[in-house]
Amino acid sequence: MTFITSAGVGALVRMRQDVQRRHGRLIVVLPAQGRARRLFELTRMVDHFEVRLTLPGAVNALRGHELRRPLLPEKIKPASEPTPPPTPIPGGPADGR
């Protein structure tokens, strides 16, 4: 898409929720330029939707030729690993001596 209104954004959000409930996959095609792309970036919707630059890219992703990845890979947040418990200080209150 190259243009979207607030009503269209609302419809996409509802569609995304419906697709997720059905364990489906929704990919939004947003060209590199355009108002829709700018809106998705400004509202951070790119963080909540799977986005591709082209229709062939979206089709390849749906066919499994491409791993799921967001439009802007630099926005991927590394998976946080659980923080290990602190090491007790010898003779400190958590030392257990």
Q: For the chain, what are the domain ranges?
A: 6-73
Residue 57 CB neighbour total at 10 angstroms: 16
Identify the pLDDT of residue 21.
93
Q: What average pLDDT does the structure give for the chain?
A: 76
Residues 6 or more apart whose CB falls under 8 angstroms from that of 71 comprise 30, 40, 46, 51, 52, 53
Q: pLDDT-derived band of residue 14, with 50, 70 and 90 as boundaries?
A: very high
Identify the pLDDT of residue 86.
55
Identify the pLDDT of residue 8.
87
Q: What confidence tens digit (pLDDT) does each residue in 51-81 have?
A: 999 999 999 998 886 555 544 443 434 444 4
Rounded distance between C-alpha atoms, residue 55 and residue 59, angstroms: 6
Q: What is the mean pLDDT of residues 36-55?
A: 90
